């Protein structure tokens, strides 16, 4: 099977090549560019394509892939909002994903982002590097006793809750239309409504998938219901937050601080070096200008263990599709 791997970085190449069994029949073409309407032609003569979170796989692209003879789309991530599943189904293109590569990686990163914000590690690091040892402006807050609200309690949300509840002795509350039966074991207590969570939380962390119902779940209305001085964390999907509303809340001082590992239009910048370029996205540039916004480039997943799990599952998905015509990780259009 010939596989075109889009949006590859050195760590993708290393992990996939290391995990691929000898004699598997898998042949990779590693492509640095993301999949879009201009790069889709690079999939010619391949049986499958392998994508990550910022590749575009809409109806038009899927139709082109079908014409090129591509039979499989293998996502090396859990989310599949960037694939038109309805179109894929009609074209008989099978879509598979990696449902859980390392929930611990993202949960630990989310907590680390909270700690960085509340104790200002990033600001202290820069000061000390410049020989400035003043502590003015570095006053933080204790996490002990604070109320943390989790929006979404899948594996990552529950693990984040466990770290905060059992490790920092936070009061962890959560909202999820599909509550977990084991939430109590993780120290997580559900509230009845999202508004209840918004009103009570000192820190809010997003851990839900991006769907039609969750797009812009953080907007002007939901932000207005949060406590003044709340801290907001997003390590899930950029489209969960209305960036314009977020900026308005930052400008008014309603938000104490924000930690973001994702941005709704990140595909134009993330996973690439833009240090010698002008950021033409004025909204993104404005967001980066706030002193109380801490942003990283979608790295929450990036651990050795996660990369190994992603590669192992992706490879098994492809081998199962080739030998059985299906996979336990196939994504079915509802």
- Is 9 in contact with 271 (CB distance < 8 Å)? yes
Q: Which residues pair with 190 in a beta bridge?
A: 174
CA distance 31 to 13: 10
C-alpha atoms less than 13 angstroms from C-alpha of 245 in its C-beta half-sphere: 16
End-to-end C-alpha distance for the chain, whole angstroms: 28
DSSP alpha helix (H) spans, 56-210: 59-68, 85-90, 103-119, 121-129, 155-162, 194-200
- Is 305 in contact with 105 (CB distance < 8 Å)? yes
- The residue count for the chain: 334
**Choice among 46, 76, 207, 237 that is catalytic:** 237
CA distance 11 to 304: 9
Annotation marks residue 237 as catalytic: yes
- Is 236 in contact with 152 (CB distance < 8 Å)? yes
CA distance 91 to 124: 54
Annotation marks residue 266 as catalytic: yes
- Is 66 in contact with 94 (CB distance < 8 Å)? no
C-alpha atoms less than 13 angstroms from C-alpha of 28 in its C-beta half-sphere: 25
CA distance 158 to 165: 10
CA distance 47 to 44: 9
**Choice among 37, 298, 308, 328 that is catalytic:** 298
Q: Which residues are catalytic?
A: 237, 266, 298
């Amino acid at each position: 099977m010939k596989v075109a791997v889009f949006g590859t970085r050195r760590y993708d190449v290393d992990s996939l090549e290391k995990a691929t069994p000898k004699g598997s029949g898998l042949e990779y073409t590693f492509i640095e560019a993301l999949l879009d309407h201009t790069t889709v032609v690079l999939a010619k003569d391949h049986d499958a394509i392998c994508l990550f979170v910022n590749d575009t796989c809409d109806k038009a692209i899927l139709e082109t892939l079908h014409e090129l003879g591509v039979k499989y789309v293998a996502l090396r991530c859990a989310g599949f909002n960037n694939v038109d599943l309805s179109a894929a189904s009609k074209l008989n293109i099978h879509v598979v994903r990696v449902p859980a590569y390392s929930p611990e990686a993202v949960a630990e990163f989310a907590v680390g982002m909270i700690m960085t914000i509340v104790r200002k590690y990033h600001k202290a690091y820069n000061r000390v590097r410049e020989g400035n040892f003043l502590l003015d402006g570095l006053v933080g807050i204790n996490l002990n006793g604070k109320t943390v609200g989790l929006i979404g309690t899948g594996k990552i949300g529950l693990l984040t809750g466990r770290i905060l509840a059992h490790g920092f002795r936070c009061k962890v509350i959560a909202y999820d239309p599909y509550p977990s039966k084991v939430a109590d074991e993780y120290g997580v207590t559900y509230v009845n409504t999202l508004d209840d969570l918004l009103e009570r939380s000192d820190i809010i962390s997003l851990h839900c998938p991006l769907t039609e119902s969750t797009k812009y779940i953080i907007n002007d209305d939901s932000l207005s219901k949060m406590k003044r001085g709340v801290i907001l964390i997003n390590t899930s999907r950029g489209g969960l937050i209305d960036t314009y509303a977020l900026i308005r809340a930052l400008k008014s001082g309603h938000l104490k601080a924000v930690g973001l590992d994702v941005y709704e239009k990140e595909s134009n910048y993330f996973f690439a070096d833009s240090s010698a370029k002008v950021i033409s996205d004025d909204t993104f540039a404005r967001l980066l200008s706030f002193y109380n916004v801490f942003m990283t480039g979608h790295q929450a997943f990036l651990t050795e263990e996660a990369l190994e799990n992603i590669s192992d599952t992706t490879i098994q998905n492809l081998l199962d599709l080739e030998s059985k015509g299906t996979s336990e990780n196939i994504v079915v259009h509802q």
